[in-house]
């Protein structure tokens, strides 16, 4: 078979949408599966349905392991599959993405990156350089070729842009940060400002950044499963070409961009029917995702695993676990998230469909990694706010804390690792060392004492949870019931 490229598709008589030539309007730091199934997909659809007429140039984010050869051979084309449930029906979308035009490896040709600043059509910079990407590195110098860190590269690039277009209105850039850290756009802007001062760059450049450039914090939400190794050969045979850049993800997607109203009309994603929101403040949407999606996972997993389940999808067809998860989300989490009820209910319904996705085997033990910090960030705020607003404890969220303690029961340790036991079979419990040490030392205590010690552990929770009215007593009672009757019998009592 031939490699996927424009000629191969032409020879096949391909009739679906393709955009071969258009100005480059987006410079993207990152080439990975996520951006290609998310941002580049959105750009491709906006080209087709909203006349965006823009291409994306990729910038390799790290020195080694880039995909330059693949992109060059395939002329930027790749096949994307978005699969899952939507509105109660199975969906399997296949699309050849033609939004990519060009690839820059700044580690072998830094000048090519600087030269791209001369492009008058360039308007947007997108990044996903992992959580470690937005980090200030004071060792980076202006004259480095290339500068090591992403913020330093961006500062150098923006300075080059200013030298060329600084006196021309409207040639500044909109920076859309997709890294999974809080206030990603603000954090990236702060790093750029530090480099600007370190390098003693012109005050006029700083003024241009403030007046002509926009750094947007964003929230991204889509599970991307990437290259489908187990079925790549089958898909290539079906397509009649070899695609080394195959990408897969769930059909659900949401991109919330914090920015001014004019950005909504300039970026025609909504016009194209895409799930992209431009809002004044993205933090309520982050809270929605963390509390509902992540909170549902974290509050459900310890109990679900000890009930005998192994993957998320199967939990949705388990009557007891599904009822527990739905009660936690709809009755205890949604009421304390500050967004319109119709939006929260639509998001929660989508979460249930996402959990049922037949194309994703999401293992409970992988979600259970570092449950302590996850429960603190994802579940504890909902429990506290519900208790204040309703004057009572949320029964499912309180139960999930007891289930967490039961899940972390130490059966034995070996070489610093801690193991629990389910139905006679060991499972590894992975968390910070101080958490492992705590449960290693205390798992043998009775339910009341272990509960008191756990809830009062400020290192775990950042506060003493025994101060929350009735929580200690309820968790201790639930933990005792789990130990005596088992998890499934206990979960039936709370639903």
Residues 3-28: pLDDT tens digits? 999 999 999 999 999 999 999 999 99
Residues 169 and 302 placed together within one structural domain of the fold: no
Asked if 303 and 297 touch (Cβ cutoff 8 Å), the reply is no
Residues 200 and 306 placed together within one structural domain of the fold: no
Q: Is 279 exposed, middle or buried (0-12, 13-18, 19+ CB in 10 A)?
A: middle
Closest CA to 114 of 65, 75, 164: 164
Q: Which domain holds residue 48?
A: 6-279
Residue 330 has pLDDT above 90, yes or no: yes
Find tokens 């504890």 and name the residue: 380
Closest CA to 59 of 127, 123, 152: 127
Residues 185 and 306 placed together within one structural domain of the fold: no
Residues 23 and 43 placed together within one structural domain of the fold: yes
pLDDT at 474: 98
Proportion of the chain in helix, strand, coil states, percent, rounded to 5: 50, 15, 35
Q: Give CA–CA dist 178/188, Å, rounded.
A: 11
In 3-state terms, what secondary structure has residue 285?
helix
Task: Using a pLDDT cut of 70, give the percent of the chain over it.
Answer: 100
Asked if 323 and 304 touch (Cβ cutoff 8 Å), the reply is no
Residues 224 and 298 placed together within one structural domain of the fold: no
Residue 318 has pLDDT above 90, yes or no: yes
pLDDT at 124: 98
pLDDT in tens, 181-227: 889 999 999 999 999 999 999 999 999 999 999 999 999 999 999 99
Q: Report if residue 59 sits inside a domain.
A: yes
Residues 188 and 327 placed together within one structural domain of the fold: no
Q: Is 373 exposed, middle or buried (0-12, 13-18, 19+ CB in 10 A)?
A: middle
Residue 101 has pLDDT above 80, yes or no: yes
Residues sharing a CB contact under 8 Å with residue 11, sequence separation 6 or more, in sequence order: 2
Residues 335 and 434 placed together within one structural domain of the fold: yes
Facing residues of 93 across strands? 82
Distances in whole angstroms, Cα of residue 371 to Cα of each of 70, 297, 304, 404, 430: 38, 10, 14, 8, 8
pLDDT at 374: 95
Of 218, 251, 279, the residue at which a domain comes to its end is 279
Q: Report if residue 477 sits inside a domain.
A: yes
Q: Give CA–CA dist 33/36, Å, rounded.
A: 5
Q: Give CA–CA dist 69/87, Å, rounded.
A: 39
- Among the residues of 279-417, which ranges form H helices? 283-288, 295-306, 312-315, 319-327, 341-355, 364-367, 371-378, 380-390, 395-407
Mean pLDDT of 50-58: 98
Instruction: Give every strand in the sheet of 412-414, ordered side by side.
Output: 412-414, 417-422, 425-429
In 3-state terms, what secondary structure has residue 244?
coil
**CATH number of the domain within which 438 lies:** 1.10.1040.10
Q: Which two tokens stand for residue 163?
A: 């030298």
Q: Give CA–CA dist 184/329, Å, rounded.
A: 27
First to last CA, the chain: 55
pLDDT at 47: 98
Mean pLDDT of 81-101: 94
Q: Report if residue 479 sits inside a domain.
A: yes
Q: Give CA–CA dist 462/376, Å, rounded.
A: 8
Residues 48 and 196 placed together within one structural domain of the fold: yes
Facing residues of 81 across strands? 94, 248
Residues 252 and 293 placed together within one structural domain of the fold: no
Residues sharing a CB contact under 8 Å with residue 276, sequence separation 6 or more, in sequence order: 42, 254, 255, 256, 257, 267, 269, 270
Residue 86 has pLDDT above 90, yes or no: no
Of 217, 245, 279, the residue at which a domain comes to its end is 279
Q: Report if residue 342 sits inside a domain.
A: yes
In 3-state terms, what secondary structure has residue 436?
helix
In 3-state terms, what secondary structure has residue 489?
helix
**CATH number of the domain within which 82 lies:** 3.40.50.720
pLDDT at 89: 87
Residue 169 confidence class, pLDDT cut points 50, 70, 90: very high
Residue 295 has pLDDT above 80, yes or no: yes
pLDDT at 73: 98
Please give the tally of structural domains in the chain: 2
Strand ranges, E, within 132-238 = 174-177, 214-221
Residues 230 and 298 placed together within one structural domain of the fold: no
Mean pLDDT of 50-54: 98
pLDDT at 87: 85
Mean pLDDT of the chain: 96
Of 279, 295, 323, the residue at which a domain comes to its end is 279
Residues 247 and 314 placed together within one structural domain of the fold: no
Residue 284 has pLDDT above 90, yes or no: yes
Q: HSE of 84 in the Cβ direction (CA atoms, 13 Å)? A: 24
pLDDT at 369: 94
Closest CA to 405 of 306, 492, 319: 306
Residues 302 and 449 placed together within one structural domain of the fold: yes
pLDDT at 232: 97
Q: Report if residue 1 sits inside a domain.
A: no
pLDDT at 228: 96
In 3-state terms, what secondary structure has residue 247?
strand
Residue 132 has pLDDT above 90, yes or no: no
Rg, C-alpha atoms of the chain? 25
């Amino acid at each position: 078979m031939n490699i996927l490229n424009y000629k191969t598709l032409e020879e096949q008589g391909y009739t679906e949408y393709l955009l071969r030539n258009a100005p480059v309007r987006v410079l993207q730091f990152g080439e990975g599966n996520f951006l290609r199934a998310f941002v580049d997909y959105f750009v491709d659809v906006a080209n087709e349905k909203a006349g965006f007429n823009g291409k994306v140039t990729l910038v390799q984010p790290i020195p080694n392991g880039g995909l330059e050869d693949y992109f060059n051979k395939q002329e930027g084309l790749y096949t994307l599959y978005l699969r899952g449930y939507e509105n109660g029906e199975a969906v399997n979308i296949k699309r050849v993405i033609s939004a990519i035009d060009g690839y820059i490896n700044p580690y072998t040709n830094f000048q090519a990156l600087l030269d791209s600043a001369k492009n008058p059509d360039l308007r947007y910079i997108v990044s996903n350089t992992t959580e470690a990407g937005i980090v200030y590195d004071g060792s980076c110098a202006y004259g480095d070729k290339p500068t090591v860190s992403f913020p330093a590269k961006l500062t150098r690039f923006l300075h080059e842009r200013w030298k060329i277009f600084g006196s021309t209105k409207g040639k500044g850039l909109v920076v859309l940060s997709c890294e999974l850290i809080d206030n990603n756009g603000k954090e990236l802007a702060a790093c750029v400002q530090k480099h600007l001062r370190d390098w003693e760059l012109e005050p006029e450049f700083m003024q241009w950044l403030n007046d002509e450039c926009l750094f947007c914090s964003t929230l991204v939400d889509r599970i991307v499963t990437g290259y489908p190794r187990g079925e790549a050969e089958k898909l290539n045979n079906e397509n009649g070409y070899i695609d080394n850049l195959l990408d897969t993800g769930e059909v659900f997607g949401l991109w919330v961009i914090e920015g001014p109203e004019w950005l909504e009309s300039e970026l025609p994603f909504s016009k194209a029917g895409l799930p992209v929101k431009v809002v004044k403040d993205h933090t309520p949407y982050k809270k929605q995702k963390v509390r509902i999606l992540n909170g549902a996972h974290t509050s459900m997993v310890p109990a679900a695993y000890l009930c005998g389940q192994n993957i998320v999808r199967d939990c949705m067809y388990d009557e007891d676990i599904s009822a527990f998860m739905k009660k936690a989300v709809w009755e205890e989490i949604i009421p304390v998230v500050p967004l319109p009820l119709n939006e929260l209910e639509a998001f929660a319904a989508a979460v249930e469909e996402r959990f049922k996705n037949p194309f994703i085997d999401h293992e409970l033990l992988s979600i259970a990694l570092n449950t302590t910090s996850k429960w603190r960030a994802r579940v504890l705020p909902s429990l506290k706010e519900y208790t204040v607003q309703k004057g009572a404890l949320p029964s499912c969220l309180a139960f999930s804390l007891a289930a967490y303690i039961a899940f972390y029961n130490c059966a034995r340790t070996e070489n610093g690792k801690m193991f629990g036991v389910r139905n006679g079979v060991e499972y590894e419990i992975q968390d910070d060392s101080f958490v492992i040490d705590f449960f290693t030392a205390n798992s043998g205590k009775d339910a009341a004492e272990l509960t008191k010690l756990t809830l009062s552990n400020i290192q775990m929770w950042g506060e003493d949870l025994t101060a929350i009215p009735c929580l200690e007593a309820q968790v201790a009672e639930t933990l005792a019931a789990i130990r005596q009757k088992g998890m499934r019998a206990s979960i039936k009592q709370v639903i």
